[in-house]
Amino acid sequence: MSAPAGQDQGGAPLLDVHGLTVEYATGRGNLRAVDGASFAIAPGRALGIVGESGSGKSTVAMTLLDLLGPEAGMSAERFTFEGEDLLDPVAARRKALRGHRIAMVFQDPGSALNPAIQVGRQIAEPLIRHRGMTQTQAAARVQELLAEVGIPRPADVAAAYPHQLSGGMKQRALIATALGCEPRLMVLDEPTTALDVTIEAQILDLLEQLRGKHDLSILFVSHNLGVIERVCDDVCVLYAGRVVEQGAAAQVFAAPAHPYTRGLLGSLPRPSAQRLSRLTPIPGRLPDLTRAPAGCIFAERCEHAEAGCGKPQEPRALADGRTVRCWKAEAIAAGAPPTQAMAEAPPDAGPAAAGAPGTTDAGALIAVDAVGKTFRLGGMLAGLRFDFSGGFPLRTDPPKVRAVDGVSLRVRPGEVVGLVGESGCGKSTLGRLILRLIEPSDGRIAIDGHDVTGASVAALRPVRRLAQMVFQNPDSSLNPRQTIGQIVRRPLELFGIARGAEAQAKVVELLGMVRLAPEYAQRYPHQLSGGEKQRVSIARALATSPKFIVLDEATSALDVSVQAAILNLLADLRDRLGVAYLLISHDLSVIAHLADRVAVMYRGAVVEEGPSAQVLAPPYHPYTEALLSAVPVVGLKDRAAQRVRLKGALIGGGAVRGCRFADRCPRRIGPICDTETPPVVEPAPGHRIACHLPLEALRAVPPVFGAAAPHA
C-alpha cells in the first residue's frame, strides 16, 4: 500500500485508517468485501464515502463501530481514532468508544428505533451509560437534545413509542441519540435514503447546523452523489470494495480522474429545464468478488481500458493531492467533464410538444376526469367506538383515506407525462386506477376513447392490450418460477397475437428491443441482474404493442449507472415506437430527464401541470419550488443560498378544506389558504398552477437552478 490517505489539513487526523480489509468466507472461497481501503478524517471535516450497491461502503461504516458479526474477518495496517488503536485486542476498550466518542446514525429510521421502548428512554440510554447521569438528569437532557434537533414538542416525542412518529421525526430522534454524549465523530450510513426529498433536505440542513455548532467530524456514507457533495468536504469513491478515487469533493466532482467516478457522474439525470439528450451509463456489472481479477477491478466495464490495465492498480497521488487508483488518471481528469455534455435543448421534445397543449380531449389517448379513490382502512369492526353524545352508544366509523381526490389528466399519443410527488401523495394509486387495477370511487377514465370506468372484465380486454405497466421492484415483478421466455410470451398467447414458432420469434424480437440476447429466454429471473430484470419487464409490457405504458417508479430500485441505461432505453423506445408513458417517480431528476409534460401531485391532487420546461422554471407552484430546491444536484451546490424549505411532513388522508398545501407552504398568504380552494392560474397555455398567490408574485420567484434555465 502506498499513498497516505489523510488530507494534509495539519495536525493528527481524528480517524486514521490504513489498508482496511474485510473478508467473508463463502462456499466458493473468500469474498473480499473491502480491500485495502485507506482514508482519514481530520478534526471538524466531513468525509463522504460514495458507491453503488455492492461497493462495500456500509461495511466500512460498520467496522468503525465494531458492528460486523463474527463471520466477518477484518484486518488493517493502521486503524486509530484520536490516537487510540481501534484494533485493540481487548474488546472492552474498543467498545468503550462506541456511542460515546463515535456515534452512528442508521439508514432506516423505522427499524433503528426499538419498537417496544419509548423514544425518550432510548435517547437517554447512552447518557446514563457513558455520562453517569441519573434517570432524571438524563430525561432533562433528552428534552434539550430533542429541541436541538428541531423537534417541536420534545416532551410528547420523548414519551412516544417509535410507531407514533413520522420517518423524519424518527431520524431526528436518532440524531439526537447520537449527539447525546457529544461524540467527536458521527458515522451516518445513508441517513436520508429512506426519507422523502423535502424531509431529506431538512435533515441535511440540520446536520450542517449541528456540525458547525459542535465541531463534529462526519463520516457520511451514501449512494447519492448530490447529497455527498452537499454535506462533505472530502470524498472517497468506492467500487467493488476498493477505493478508486479520493480527494476534495469539489475537485473530484468537477474533474473526476477515475473512469468509474466519471461514469457515475455521466449517469446522473438532472432536474434542470435544459435536457441532456442522453445519459452515459456504465456497461456490465460488478465483478464476482470471490474471484476478483488480478488487474484493475473496473477494467472490464471501463471505456478507457487497454492492455496496461491488466496490471494490479495501486492508489497513487496526483499533483493536486488526490489519490486515484488508475494509471491513466491524469489523462482522464483532463478530459471534458461528463456533466458538461449538456445537449442543446432537445430538437423535438416528443411528438406531443408540437401540438398545442390544452385541455381539449381531441386526440387524447388517456383521459382522466375528476377521478377519486377513497380507501377504507381496517376490517369490518375497525372503526367501532363508543359515543355517548346521543343515540345508540356504539358507532362504527371506519377510518378512510382519500388517496386520490379529483384528478384530471390527459396523455396524448407518443407523449411522456411525468407524475411526481412524495410518498403517500397518491401517484401510484392514480397509475393503478388508470389501468383499473384498483376500482375508482368516482370520476371517469377513458383509454383511446373507451370508457373503462364501469367496463366489465370482457369489455376491458381489448383496452388491456393498449395499456400496459412496468413496476418498481425488479425482484418481485417477474414470476420466479417462469423462464424469461415464458414471461414475455404469455401476453402474446393471451391476446392471440402469436403462437408456436411465431411467438418464439416474437420473443426474440422483443428481447432484442430491450437489448437482451436471445439466450435470455431460457433463463430464470434470479439469474438476472436488477437492470436486466427491468428490461424483461419492459419487453413484457411491449409484447402487445401497447400505445401506452405506466412506468411506476420503474428505475427507482436501480443503481444510477443502471438507471441511466434504462432511461436511455425508454427514450429510444418512445422515439421508435411512438408509445406514450405515464412516468411515475418521486425523483424529479428522472422526470425532468424524460418527460414532455409534468404533473406535480400533493395529497391526492395535481397542484401544478404543464410542459416540462415550464414546470421546471418560474412561475412555480410553491410546492414545486420547494421540491426543486430540495433535490441535491451535483454541481449546483451554490443553490443552497436561496433554498426554500418545507415545515413538517406530508400528512395523508382526510378531506381537505382550502389549499391542501397550506400547512406546509413557505409562501402562505393568510387564512384564505385554509378556507378557500385555490384557483387555477394559467401562466402559459397548458401550464396550470393551483394557488392563491397572484400570478405576478409567482413569476417574481427567482429560478431554483440559477439563471441558466430559459424562460418558456
Stretch of residues binding other proteins (CB under 8 A), selected from 105-113, 258-266, 316-324, 353-361: 105-113
| CA distance to 132, 286, 577, 588, per residue, from 419 (Å) | 52, 32, 21, 9
Strand partners, 188: 105, 220
Stretch of residues binding other proteins (CB under 8 A), selected from 37-45, 46-54, 270-278, 498-506: 46-54
For other proteins, the binding residues in 286-345 under the rule CB under 8 A are 286-288, 290
Among 58, 251, 429, 629, binds other proteins (CB under 8 A): 58
For other proteins, the binding residues in 417-436 under the rule CB under 8 A are 432, 435
Ramachandran angles phi, psi of 684, nearest 5°: -145, 160
Give the sheet arrangement for strand 580-585, strand by strand: 467-470, 548-552, 580-585, 416-420, 597-602, 605-611, 687-690, 680-684
Sign of the Cα pseudo-torsion (7, 10, 16, 18, in order): positive
Using rule CB under 8 A, residue 3 touches other proteins: no
Stretch of residues binding other proteins (CB under 8 A), selected from 40-48, 523-531, 605-613, 703-711: 523-531
Is the separation of the CB atoms in 198 and 627 below 8 Å?
A: yes
> Residue 532 CB, nearest distance to other proteins (Å)?
7
For other proteins, the binding residues in 165-204 under the rule CB under 8 A are 165-166, 169, 174, 177, 189-190, 193-194
Is the separation of the CB atoms in 371 and 445 below 8 Å?
A: yes
> Residue 557 CB, nearest distance to other proteins (Å)?
4
Among 77, 93, 114, 519, binds other proteins (CB under 8 A): 114
Stretch of residues binding other proteins (CB under 8 A), selected from 261-269, 518-526, 578-586, 684-692: 518-526
> Residue 59 CB, nearest distance to other proteins (Å)?
6
Q: Which residues, 6+ apart, have CB-to-CB distance to 269 below 8 Å?
A: 276, 279, 563, 564, 567, 587, 589, 590, 592, 593, 594
Among 7, 107, 251, 272, binds other proteins (CB under 8 A): 107
> Residue 290 CB, nearest distance to other proteins (Å)?
8
Q: Cell 411532513 sits at which residue?
A: 649
> Residue 370 CB, nearest distance to other proteins (Å)?
23
Is the separation of the CB atoms in 237 and 258 below 8 Å?
A: yes
DSSP 710: P
Stretch of residues binding other proteins (CB under 8 A), selected from 279-287, 346-354, 606-614, 629-637: 279-287
The span from the CA of 664 to the CA of 652, in Å, is: 13
Query: 194 vs 690, which CB is nearer to other proteins?
Result: 194
For other proteins, the binding residues in 549-568 under the rule CB under 8 A are 557-559, 561-562
Among 7, 38, 59, 171, binds other proteins (CB under 8 A): 59
Query: 385 vs 711, which CB is nearer to other proteins?
Result: 385
The CA-based diameter of the chain, rounded to the nearest angstrom, is: 87
For other proteins, the binding residues in 205-264 under the rule CB under 8 A are 221, 223
Stretch of residues binding other proteins (CB under 8 A), selected from 156-164, 228-236, 654-662, 691-699: 156-164
> Residue 221 CB, nearest distance to other proteins (Å)?
8
> Residue 685 CB, nearest distance to other proteins (Å)?
34
Degrees to nearest 5, angle at CA 350 with 349 and 353: 70
The span from the CA of 339 to the CA of 51, in Å, is: 18
For other proteins, the binding residues in 26-45 under the rule CB under 8 A are 26-28, 31, 33
The span from the CA of 273 to the CA of 283, in Å, is: 27
Distance from the Cα of residue 115 to its chain's centroid? 25
Is the separation of the CB atoms in 420 and 627 below 8 Å?
A: yes
Stretch of residues binding other proteins (CB under 8 A), selected from 102-110, 225-233, 684-692, 702-710: 102-110
Among 464, 489, 687, 688, binds other proteins (CB under 8 A): 464
For 78, the grid coordinates are 493502521
Among 1, 152, 348, 702, binds other proteins (CB under 8 A): 152
For other proteins, the binding residues in 10-29 under the rule CB under 8 A are 22, 24-28
Stretch of residues binding other proteins (CB under 8 A), selected from 12-20, 58-66, 573-581, 635-643: 58-66
The span from the CA of 576 to the CA of 629, in Å, is: 34
- N residues, the chain: 712
Count of residues in contact with other proteins, rule CB under 8 A: 124
Ramachandran angles phi, psi of 486, nearest 5°: -60, -40
Q: Which residues, 6+ apart, have CB-to-CB distance to 245 below 8 Å?
A: 236, 237, 252, 256, 257, 258, 260, 261, 322, 323, 324, 325, 326, 329
Distance from the Cα of residue 578 to its chain's centroid? 28
Q: Between 380 and 399, how does the x/- string for binding to other proteins read (CB under 8 A)?
A: xxxxxxx-------x-x---
> Residue 318 CB, nearest distance to other proteins (Å)?
28
Query: 47 vs 49, which CB is nearer to other proteins?
Result: 49
The span from the CA of 182 to the CA of 340, in Å, is: 42
Q: Cell 388517456 sits at which residue?
A: 366
Q: Between 118 and 147, how does the x/- string for binding to other proteins read (CB under 8 A)?
A: -------xx--xx-----------------
The CB density around residue 637, as the number of other CB atoms within 10 Å, is 15
> Residue 360 CB, nearest distance to other proteins (Å)?
28
The span from the CA of 403 to the CA of 654, in Å, is: 9
Stretch of residues binding other proteins (CB under 8 A), selected from 60-68, 672-680, 683-691, 699-707: 60-68
Among 269, 372, 424, 530, binds other proteins (CB under 8 A): 530
SS3 state at 440 = coil
Stretch of residues binding other proteins (CB under 8 A), selected from 164-172, 614-622, 688-696, 702-710: 164-172
Among 3, 72, 74, 87, binds other proteins (CB under 8 A): 72
Among 8, 10, 116, 307, binds other proteins (CB under 8 A): 116
For other proteins, the binding residues in 561-620 under the rule CB under 8 A are 561-562
For other proteins, the binding residues in 621-650 under the rule CB under 8 A are none
Among 113, 139, 176, 673, binds other proteins (CB under 8 A): 113
Q: Which residues, 6+ apart, have CB-to-CB distance to 338 below 8 Å?
A: 256, 262, 263, 265, 266, 280
